[in-house]
Structures are given as C-alpha cells and as structure tokens.
Amino acid sequence: MKFSQYIVLIFSTLTFFVNSEAQTPQLVLDINPGAGDGLNQFNKSFAKIGETVFFTANDGILGAELYKEFNGSVSLVRDINPGAAGSIPFILAVYKDKVYFNANDGVHGPELWVSDGTEEGTTLFYESVAGPTGHGFVKAIVGMNNLLYFAGTSQLYMTNGSPDDVKRITCPHEMELSDADGGTYQRMIPYESGIAYAAKSADSVYVFKTSGPQGIGVGVTRVRKSTFFSGIQGMASVNERIVFVLDDFTEKILYSTTGNAQSVASKYSSPAGNDLPVFRFIPFNDDMVLLMTPSRLYGINGISTQTVNLGAFNTSFTQGVPFPSATLGSKAYFSISSFGDILIYETNGTLAGTKEYYNSPDITFGEMVSYGGSIFYTTGINNNFVPKIYQFESGDINPKIVHSYTANSTNGPSIQILGFKGNQMYFSSNLGAAGRELYKIQVDVNTGSNEALLNTASYTLHSAGSLTFQIQNAEANDLLELKMYDLQGKLFWSQQVHGNNSFQVPDIQGVFLLHVHGSEGEKSFKVSVWR
C-alpha cells in the first residue's frame, strides 16, 4: 500500500535515529557461494527507495544483474540479459520512486533501463541507438527541476519519466555531435534551471548549458581547439558560474564561464612543474568550490581573475597524492597520503582555517563520505593491512573506530562504502572465504540539523498540493531565487519564480532546507517530505 504524500513545515532540530553502539558487520548474503565475488569492486552502483536498496551483483551463473534487499531478504530483480554474460547494471539513480540505470540486455546494446523493484516493472526505458551493436552508453544521470537528464555516447536527453516524453537536447553548434565526428559528452552537472554539460568533437572542446524544460542547448562556449587527448577533467558550479579544468596533456587550465561564449575566461594555468596533474573538485558552498592538487588546495569563487590559494599542505612531501574528501556543515575535510602517513585536513575556506585535523595511525586510505552529521572513512586496501571503518563529527579530536577486522584476507581486503539506509551503512568487502560480497553495519548517526534559519524577509511558504508550493507575502514582480539543500548542505535543486506563483520541488523524500532570496531579503524553510 502506498500512502499519499504529504508535506510538513518544521523549524526545529530534528533527529531521526541514533544508534548507541555500532555492531559487527553482517554479511547480507553470500550471493556468489564460496570464494567467488558477488560484487565487483569496479561497480559501486547502489540506490535506495524507501526501505529497499538496489545494487548490482553476480551469483556466478546469471552474470551481473540488478538485485534488491528488503527487510534483510535479497532477491534478483530481473535477469535482464539471460545467461552468464549479464546485463551489468550501473549508474543507478532514483527518480520518481523508480531506479534508472544503464544495462545491456544483449539485444539493444547498452541503454537506459528503469525498475520499480519488480520483474515485470523492470523494462528498457529508451533506446538511443538501435540494435545490439549500438553505443547508446548512458554516461550520466542528473535530476533537476523534476526532470531526468541522461546522456548517450553522443547525444543528450531529457524526460519527465515517461518513455513517450523523451526529448533530445539540441546542440547549439552548427555541427551536431555524433559518433561519426568523434563527438562525446564528458561531464554533466545541475546548473540554473537545467544542466551544464561539456562535450568534445573531433577538433574542439565545448561547454554548453540548457534552457530548462525546452530542451535546447544555449550559450555555446567553444573553449579551444582540442588535441586527441584533451578533454574536461572536472566541472563544478559556483557563484552562478561554471568552472572546469581543461587538460590536453601539455597544460591544464582552469576556466570560468556563465555558459555564454563571451563570458569564458581562463582563471588559472598550471605553472612550470605542472601543479595540476591530479586534482579533485570539492563542492563547498554557494561562493566557493575547492580544488585539490597533489601539493596545494585552492579556493575558487569563479568570478575573480585569480584563484584563492589556501596554501601548501604537507610541505615536506610535495609528491603526496590527494585522496577522497567530504563536506560537513561549514567545513570540508580531505586526506592525503605521503610516504607512510595519512593526514586528514580541515578547512573553512580560508588560509587560517585550513589545518591538519588528524594524523592517522594507518598508512593506507580507502574513501571518505559524509552522512548523518558524521564523516566516515575507510583504511586498509591490500593484504598487508587490517581494514578499518572510522567515524568522526566536526570537532572530534580523534575519529573513533566503527569496526576493525581482526585478520587480513589473502585476496587483498578492502572496504567500499556503497550507501546508507537509516542507521545502516552498506559496503562491499572481500574479507574471509566468501569473496567480495555485500555487508551492512549499524552506525551512530544523527540527521539533526542546527543550521540557523535566515529570517530577514516576511516570506511565508504555503503548500499548494503534492510537491507544489507558493511563496507568499512577496510582490508579484519579485523574482525569487529558490535553492534546496540536503541536511549536509549539498545543493541539489534551484529555480527562479515570481512572487506568489506556484512551483514544484523534486520528487524527494526526507528533510531539506529551502532557501528563498528576493528583493525583500532572505528566508529559509525546513521542509519535511514523507510518504
């Protein structure tokens, strides 16, 4: 039975669940019995709808297919590609209570599929390239303004969730990108009322943006003539601008643009010594994104002609390699590993506020994620080290060990965090004799939020139906900027609307922060969406 959706506005700190004591990891199921791997370390696909989690697994007979777990019971959703080859589902994304993913049924080639969790409800959603030898390879899926965006090898599409309403986003360049001329889409991020995306043809690199539901690419930006190896390595949105790094193997240049050809500008070029061989964008806040290099951290606002150098870290070992990062509240955390040390750093976006946070006793690092007001990270990536799961909240002096394995595995143990459901962390690991399988462990989490709500305006939020709202007490010609964040501060939806006009938020579930900015000032609302 599906309950009708209702929306409650709240203005207080919320706590969904707190688990007082972490438990020993539980093997969900030995999907591939014996020493065979049920999960693939190179396919971390994972999605959650309500109490059901979806993931890709291989039982050793049917190949890699879509599985689900509900109430501790694991089952195959559908054998999409019968036989040992498998359909290899990946890039799982939730949209309107369904999971969308790339899969190959052996008849249509790799295309976009959709599933409601049942065998009969798992079907091919859209065939972008006809036939089994086509290359309709889905590269990215982004939900924005209640629309689903997905990319094939050379084309970009949008839909409202109906296969009959798939629109191809037109390329504003006189030459449509296609397989024939080497056109490929490389990056896709939410931007303004739609998305920003990067593409490469045989001779040029471009950055475009969409104009929302019209499905038209606008603001063509021909970045530069490309070489065979050139391409966009990273992309982020900050201060209503798109920042990205172009790498052609001779130099790496940081660009900033609003998506219009006239606005593109080089903000930073790698100096002698090539300071950008490895980098990572860290979304931070509305005014800054962070860019990691092997020896420095930069703050980028997208507007000024120079980046803000937050200083060198680990100056004794400038060859240290940057590792995963996570944002928690108003601070970002990142790690580096150099010559036997794991150092975790904290930054608030200023030089004075960037400091060493923790020197780990481990000498290998796995990954770092933010969830439920905490940072989780893993160590131990080969058979010389015991894998561990750590957790800390902002301000903790020493991260606590959620679990430490007592013995190593002969086949190279590692822990890969897949996702969370309530107070359970799901991860894959190849510990013991079962091969790489799906595990879960209870963790202490608190999804409460203590963000100060901005109240400089008299706006009120009125529910006008399922997922539909109005901002009242605003002038009719007042253009309001709406932004929606999760409780970890990550922006995932934005829109502009005139005062008192209704608007729809994405089909979501949970507690979120809706920020409204207009001529009257600013105000924030906590929105709780339940089913």
**Is 162 a domain residue?**
no
**Cβ contacts of residue 503 below 8 Å, gap of 6+?**
468, 469, 470, 482, 495, 497
Question: Which residues constitute the domain of residue 479?
Answer: 460-530
Q: How many residues in total does the chain contain?
A: 531
pLDDT of residue 63: 95
Single out the residue of 126, 223, 238 nearest to residue 192, CA to CA.
238
Going from the C-alpha of 199 to that of each of 223, 241, 246, the distances in angstroms are: 10, 17, 12
Task: Retrieve residue 350's tokens.
Answer: 């200023």
**Is 446 a domain residue?**
no
**Is 476 a domain residue?**
yes
> What is this structure's pTM?
0.77
DSSP assignment of 94-110 equals: EETTEEEEEEE-SSS-E
pLDDT of residue 484: 84
Number of domains in the chain: 1
**Is 144 a domain residue?**
no
The rounded average pLDDT for each run of 10 residues, N- to C-terminus, in the chain (531 residues) is: 34 34 78 89 88 94 95 94 93 88 92 94 90 73 78 79 84 49 69 78 74 56 60 80 77 76 62 51 79 76 73 50 74 75 83 85 81 85 72 84 70 79 88 84 66 61 76 80 76 80 75 81 74 43
E strand map for 348-478: 355-360, 368-371, 374-379, 388-392, 400-404, 415-421, 424-429, 437-442, 460-463, 468-472
CATH number at residue 497: 2.60.40.10
Map tokens 């209503």 to a residue.
240
**Is 505 a domain residue?**
yes
**Cβ contacts of residue 271 below 8 Å, gap of 6+?**
none
CA distance between the termini of the chain: 11
**Is 481 a domain residue?**
yes
User: Measured between alpha carbons, how far is 311 from 152 in angstroms, rounded to an integer?
Assistant: 40
Q: Are 446 and 22 in contact (CB under 8 A)?
A: no
DSSP assignment of 108-168 equals: S-EEEEEESSSSTTEEEEE-SS-STT-------EEEETTEEEEE-SS-EEEESS-GGG-EE
Write the DSSP symbol of residue 213. G
The residues with which 157 forms a beta bridge, in sequence order, are 150, 168
Three-state SS at 369: strand
At residue 25's C-alpha, the angle toward residues 21 and 27, to 5°, is 145
Strand-pair category, 26-29 with 46-49: unpaired
φ, ψ for residue 213 (rounded to 5)?
Answer: -65, -10
Task: Retrieve residue 428's tokens.
Answer: 């894959």
**Cβ contacts of residue 314 below 8 Å, gap of 6+?**
295, 320, 336, 338, 343
pLDDT of residue 59: 95
**Is 513 a domain residue?**
yes
